[in-house]
Amino acid sequence: MASPTGQDKFTYALKSNDAWANYKGHQNPSYFPEMSKGQAPQILWFGCSDSRVPETTLMGLQPGDVFTHRNIANILSPTDLNFLSVLEYAVAHVKVKHIILCGHTCCGGCVGALSDGRIGGVLDAWLTPLKGVRAENEKELKSITDDGARAQRLAELNVQRGVQVLMSNYVVAEAIKERGLTVHGIVYDIASGKLNDLGIGSGAKNSPLKPGKHGVDGTQEAEYEVVKGKHGVLVFNGDGAEMTVQ
């Protein structure tokens, strides 16, 4: 798929990066030199690899704000060394203050786990834990007649299971007790762009994210504040792009 300038996506991305880096450097000459000295993000994000759920973008944050691990269907397995290494490094060494586990609507992994057929390859093995969540909640899921709503409910249940995995991890439990680390389970609604807090985890009562309408145990409508101000915007013309403030 071509970019707005007619270039292929990779060429487009390189030129966009050049415009962005020049803009950030002009706006604050110390931005990149300071960032190169180290990181101190307050948030650890576990999410899905889905291209429509870019954590930093949808939370309105910047490079350096979010330590991230993503995989197909945001599955957290207590035997996955990849997940565990990210978790331990972020909690024990970076000392993040919040862990967010985010599922999302329209998740292909949830659709696959709800299917009785094989997907093929390694995906069938990877989705086994999600198939287990489905089996444990078969009665409830079968009672949901709409396919999209059923997949969304499985996404919520998957987040609930993942939060349980996080809360049972020794490094996490120790950080919760010793320095008040909070764990949050949320679902991103692709159709609206909103994050909905499921009200689960150690941060359920004092979470900065307000309970959303798709919660596991409630239907309270979420409230959000629009942040106004000047923002950098990419403007494309000719063969390249430049950053401007609007």
**Residues recognised as catalytic:** 48, 50, 52, 104, 107
Instruction: Burial-class residue 161 by CB neighbours within 10 Å (0-12, 13-18, 19+).
Output: buried
- Residue written as token pair 């996080």: 166
Burial class (CB in 10 A: 0-12, 13-18, 19+), 3: middle
CA 199, CA 217: separation in Å to the nearest integer?
8
Task: Tell me which residue of 27, 71, 29, 20 sits closest to 46, measured CA to CA.
Answer: 71
Query: If you ran DSSP here, which 8-state letter would residue 211 be given?
Result: B
Give pairs for 26-29: CB < 8 Å, separation 24+.
Answer: 27/232
Provide the annotated binding site for Zn(2+).
48, 50, 104, 107
